[in-house]
Chains A and B, each alone.
Chain A
Amino acid sequence: MNTKVKDNSMALQTVKILREAKAGLDERGDVFVSISPSEENSGVQIDLESTLMSLFGDQIRASVLDVIEGYGLKDLKLAIRDQGALDYAIRARVQTAIERAVKEGE
């Protein structure tokens, strides 16, 4: 089930979270992701809620971190409300939120 996000267009550039952005739907099988900038050197802060926290919490966190790492992002805040999304959907939603948050001039 694991698909590494190594092929995204931003991966090799230095990217920065410029604004707050959201992705995902508030429904079963999906995950709602909200991303916002944070101060330099504050690191990656993840606030995770999941209906399957005890079973998959670590795995979700690992997938989220993997996507963030793929973009080379260092400082950001992520709020994640998971409603039983599969790994591919979690990765897609985090990627969408990041792409929306790093876009300039919107």
Chain B
Amino acid sequence: MARLRRSRIYLPGNRPRMIQKGPLLGADAVILDLEDSVSPEEKDAARFLVTHAIKALNFGETEVMVRINPLSACGLEDLAAVLPAGPDAIVVPKSENRQGVQIVEKAIIQSNLSKRVAILPLIESAKGILNAYEIACASPLVEAITFGGEDFTQDIGATRTREGREIFWGRSMLVIAAKAAGVQALDTVFSDFNDEEGLRNDTLAIKQMGFDGRAAIHPSQIAIIHEVFTPTEAEIQHAVNVIRAAEIARGKGSGVAVVKGKMIDKPIIQRAEKIIRIAERLDLPIPEPEA
């Protein structure tokens, strides 16, 4: 099963105090950012700081991602600096086609690391969304494709709203492309970090759409995102009941099971198995099936 990526928080790559808070925030992943949060004249400094931080700090279970600059800017220099430190994943901004992903893949392979480094293309333009499936399939190292709502909105000439109607189609396309390619779909940030209700509703909506997680721009957002993406006790109980009913049906040579008056078929069983896998990953209690 792929890593759990309910939340990933952006941390400016040139700010030591914020970087070293990373392991303590409880997010599933930190994104040490070399791109938008670093001014052009500080790119070299951030590169050294992030490289040393990855080598020296103990991030524990937290996945360490690095967002490099676009390959058309100094992305390759970023890769050359940070890859030897062994990050867990590289976030590739402004991804628009398979070639960009493959350049990053080549750099990872050539760095000869003993660990796997995942590629997470960040899709944030109209062209990128239209090529989302191609991007998701570009390398076996792609484990998720991620959506950048702010840049996308600007690219299509729309205005960003709380409701997010302007990004609905882009989000849908990204989820469908990700799932067709067998990778995770990860959503954009919710920019207003004072609006907890807005974040919760938006996150419930994207979970419903099929997203596996979303980005955070403020530590206070992590708990809300986790709350939405963590299975509830009732969901886990139902999943256990579904799997048990399916086992019983299989034992009887039947392909059809029923739980609480509803027919259980393959997609429902698969969804239940996914919930149990997430619950196990999070060490949540798994109850006995109900009679």
Compute how far the CA of A28 lies from the CA of B15 in the bound complex, rounded to whole angstroms. Answer: 10
Compute how far the CA of A7 lies from the CA of B14 in the bound complex, rounded to whole angstroms. Answer: 21
Which residues of A are found within 8 Å of B45, using beta-carbon distances?
23-24, 92-93, 96
Q: Is A88 an interface residue (CB 8 A)?
A: yes
Compute how far the CA of A71 lies from the CA of B88 in the bound complex, rounded to whole angstroms. Answer: 28
User: What distance in Å separates the Cβ of B56 from its nearest Cβ neighbour in chain A?
Assistant: 4
Residue of A24, A29, A92 with most partner-chain B CB within 10 A: A92
User: Which B residues lie at the A interface, using CB under 8 A?
Assistant: 14-17, 20, 44-45, 48-49, 51-53, 55-57, 84
In chain A, positions 36-93 with a C-beta closer than 8 Å to chain B are: 85-89, 91-93
Q: Is A10 an interface residue (CB 8 A)?
A: no
**Contact of B56 with A87 in the complex, beta carbons under 8 Å:** yes
Which residues of B are found within 8 Å of A7, using beta-carbon distances?
84
**Contact of B16 with A96 in the complex, beta carbons under 8 Å:** no
**Contact of B55 with A25 in the complex, beta carbons under 8 Å:** no
**Contact of A95 with B48 in the complex, beta carbons under 8 Å:** yes
Using A27-B17, A92-B51 as known contacts, list a sample of 17 further A-B pairs with CB atoms less than 8 Å apart, ordered by residue number in A.
A3-B56, A24-B45, A25-B14, A25-B15, A29-B16, A29-B17, A88-B56, A89-B20, A89-B52, A92-B49, A93-B49, A95-B48, A95-B52, A96-B44, A96-B49, A99-B48, A100-B44
Known: A96-B44, A96-B45, A99-B44. A3 touches B16 (CB 8 A): no
User: What distance in Å separates the Cβ of B45 from its nearest Cβ neighbour in chain A?
Assistant: 4
Query: Which residue on A lies nearest to B20, using beta carbons?
Result: A86
User: What distance in Å separates the Cβ of A38 from its nearest Cβ neighbour in chain B?
Assistant: 23
A-B contacts counted at CB < 8 A amount to 56
User: Which A residues lie at the B interface, using CB under 8 A?
Assistant: 1-3, 7, 23-25, 27-30, 85-89, 91-93, 95-96, 99-100
**Contact of B17 with A88 in the complex, beta carbons under 8 Å:** no
**Contact of B44 with A88 in the complex, beta carbons under 8 Å:** no
User: What distance in Å separates the Cβ of A83 from its nearest Cβ neighbour in chain B?
Assistant: 9
Query: Which residue on B lies nearest to A94, using beta carbons?
Result: B48
Known: A86-B16, A86-B20, A100-B44. A3 touches B52 (CB 8 A): yes
Which residues of B are found within 8 Å of A86, using beta-carbon distances?
16, 20, 56
User: What distance in Å separates the Cβ of B155 from its nearest Cβ neighbour in chain A?
Assistant: 32
**Contact of B14 with A88 in the complex, beta carbons under 8 Å:** no
Contact with A29, one of B20, B44, B56 (Cβ below 8 angstroms): B20
Which residues of A are found within 8 Å of B44, using beta-carbon distances?
96, 99-100
Compute how far the CA of A25 lies from the CA of B49 in the bound complex, rounded to whole angstroms. Answer: 12
**Contact of B52 with A88 in the complex, beta carbons under 8 Å:** yes
Residue of B15, B16, B49, B51 with most partner-chain A CB within 10 A: B16
